A = this chain, B = another copy of it.
Amino acid sequence: MIDYATLFRANLPAAAGKYNGFPKYNFVGGHNDAASVPVDELIAAAGTVLKREGSTLATYGLNSGPQGYRGLREFLVKKLAKNAGIACTADDILITGGSQQALELINSLLLDPGDTIIVEEASYGGFLSRVRRFGVNMVPLPLDKQGMDVEALGRILADLKGKGIRPKYLFTIPTVQNPTASILPLERRQAVIKLCESYGVPIIEDECYSDLVWDGKRPQAMRGIAGDDRVIYVGSFSKSIAPAVRLGYIVAGWPVLSRILPLKTDSGTGAIDQMVLAEFCEARFDDHVAALRKVLKRKLGVLTEAVSANFGTAAEFEVPDGGIFLWIKLPDSVDTLKLFQAASKEGVSLNPGAEWSVDPAHGKSRLRLCFANPTEQTIREGVAKLAEICNREFGVPTRIANVGR
């Protein structure tokens, strides 16, 4: 046998655990509503697009080159113009294996060990954990109910400049911020762009959830406002259609994309996924997303009702205007990492706030609950169970109601 422990490279991440299926009360992960997957329409789309272009599967990149299936990029050009106020062409888009790969590529483009980046104080845990592997310093940017605190950003940029540090980028999720669900107002977007430009700092704008604003109205994307690579844009179909298809994208100019392409070492993104989604989206995207929003908004209502009923005033939260998650503050006596461990043993999974925060202390008593995937009944049961566990472990909430069980 081979002793691999002596062969692995330095600084490998920890080993993965074995997959044992999802827990019964699954409040983590960007999973979506199973009944909302447009199965019949995806089948129809597959039939149409493969009949028309299936033989192009014989070539790497179809007939579209390394940036991804042209049909999908052309749909995105129209979608981004209409919904996000972004003017771009198919040449400005790179299709990726989900927004995960998009972010990994951007980090691989820009980050050296020891670099500094600015990140919203609470942010996407998958981003935080992966960016840590690059060995960079993250400066947390305070958030309020509307999102990034512009004055604080000004202070941070000035302070870093005073220390001779130019941050590699500002990472923001302005539209349905993950995890706070805030939507950054237009004026703040403009101010952030101006501020960052004056310090020569690019903005990475992650818009994974922007299709899921309940009323369908959202401020213009920062990429749209800037109109150029002051803002690199990342989007995804995971939340609007289905996460398993793994389709995301980067919008950027050629000087950036031409340096990212050689870092995309998979020789392209899955073609059938791209073709089927392009065909489906061209005809049905808007209708589908409108229907999905209704389902999600209803589930959010079930969740907030269950949280209020079971936790009472112990749980503080803002009711989101979109998205798939609720960010909750519990009393300071609650350590949500410990709550997470206790709850996991009983089939209830949640995101402890520490993993969703640049400074773990910020998230110590906070947690994120995702509501798109569990059924309404599962949401009610799971939250009641969580309150029971939290009461047992921390005495919070002080009284346990038996609502919804």
- A contacts with B: majority SS: loop
- Complex CA gap A63/B31 in Å reads 11
Q: Which residue of B lies closest to A203 (CB)?
A: B2
Q: Which residue of B lies closest to A10 (CB)?
A: B112
Residues of B within 8 A of A276 (CB): 46, 272
Mark A254-266 against chain B: 1 for CB-CB distance below 8 A, else 0: 1111110111011
Residues of B within 8 A of A274 (CB): 270
- Does B34 contact A43, Cβ atoms closer than 8 Å? no
Would you call A267 an interface residue if the criterion is a C-beta within 8 Å of the partner chain's C-beta atoms? Answer: yes
- Complex CA gap A123/B43 in Å reads 40
Residues of B within 8 A of A36 (CB): 58
> Which of B18, B42, B50 contacts A39, CB < 8 Å?
B50
- Does B66 contact A42, Cβ atoms closer than 8 Å? no
- Does A9 contact B112, Cβ atoms closer than 8 Å? yes
Would you call A197 an interface residue if the criterion is a C-beta within 8 Å of the partner chain's C-beta atoms? Answer: yes
- Does A39 contact B51, Cβ atoms closer than 8 Å? yes
- Does B2 contact A200, Cβ atoms closer than 8 Å? yes
Would you call A402 an interface residue if the criterion is a C-beta within 8 Å of the partner chain's C-beta atoms? Answer: no
Which of A13, A265, A268 counts the most B-chain CB atoms under 10 A from its CB?
A265
> Which of B34, B247, B265 contacts A58, CB < 8 Å?
B34
Residues of B within 8 A of A286 (CB): none
Residues of B within 8 A of A261 (CB): 16
- Does A244 contact B58, Cβ atoms closer than 8 Å? yes
Q: Which residue of B lies closest to A57 (CB)?
A: B242
- Complex CA gap A229/B197 in Å reads 51
Residues of B within 8 A of A4 (CB): 202, 229, 255-256, 259
- Does A245 contact B271, Cβ atoms closer than 8 Å? yes
Residues of B within 8 A of A37 (CB): 54-55, 57-58
Would you call A132 an interface residue if the criterion is a C-beta within 8 Å of the partner chain's C-beta atoms? Answer: no
- Does A16 contact B66, Cβ atoms closer than 8 Å? yes
Mark A1-13 against chain B: 1 for CB-CB distance below 8 A, else 0: 1111011111011
Indicate whether A246 sits within 8 Å of B265 (C-beta atoms), given known contacts A37-B54, A59-B373, A259-B15: no
- Does B51 contact A43, Cβ atoms closer than 8 Å? yes
Mark A36-67 against chain B: 1 for CB-CB distance below 8 A, else 0: 11010011001100110011111111111111
Would you call A273 an interface residue if the criterion is a C-beta within 8 Å of the partner chain's C-beta atoms? Answer: yes
- Complex CA gap A101/B96 in Å reads 13
- Does A1 contact B228, Cβ atoms closer than 8 Å? yes
- Does A200 contact B46, Cβ atoms closer than 8 Å? no
Residues of B within 8 A of A257 (CB): 16
Residues of B within 8 A of A7 (CB): 110, 168-169, 202
Residues of B within 8 A of A33 (CB): 58
Indicate whether A12 sits within 8 Å of B259 (C-beta atoms), given known contacts A51-B43, A57-B37, A273-B271: yes
Would you call A230 an interface residue if the criterion is a C-beta within 8 Å of the partner chain's C-beta atoms? Answer: yes
- Does A67 contact B246, Cβ atoms closer than 8 Å? no
> Which of B46, B60, B168 contacts A30, CB < 8 Å?
B60
Indicate whether A34 sits within 8 Å of B55 (C-beta atoms), given known contacts A2-B197, A39-B50, A266-B98: yes
- Does A31 contact B59, Cβ atoms closer than 8 Å? yes
- Does B202 contact A60, Cβ atoms closer than 8 Å? no
Mark A226-250 against chain B: 1 for CB-CB distance below 8 A, else 0: 0011100000000000111111000
- Does B31 contact A42, Cβ atoms closer than 8 Å? no
- Does A271 contact B258, Cβ atoms closer than 8 Å? no
Extra 7 A-B pairs, beta carbons < 8 Å, given A16-B257, A37-B57, A97-B270:
A9-B111, A29-B60, A43-B47, A57-B243, A59-B373, A97-B97, A273-B273
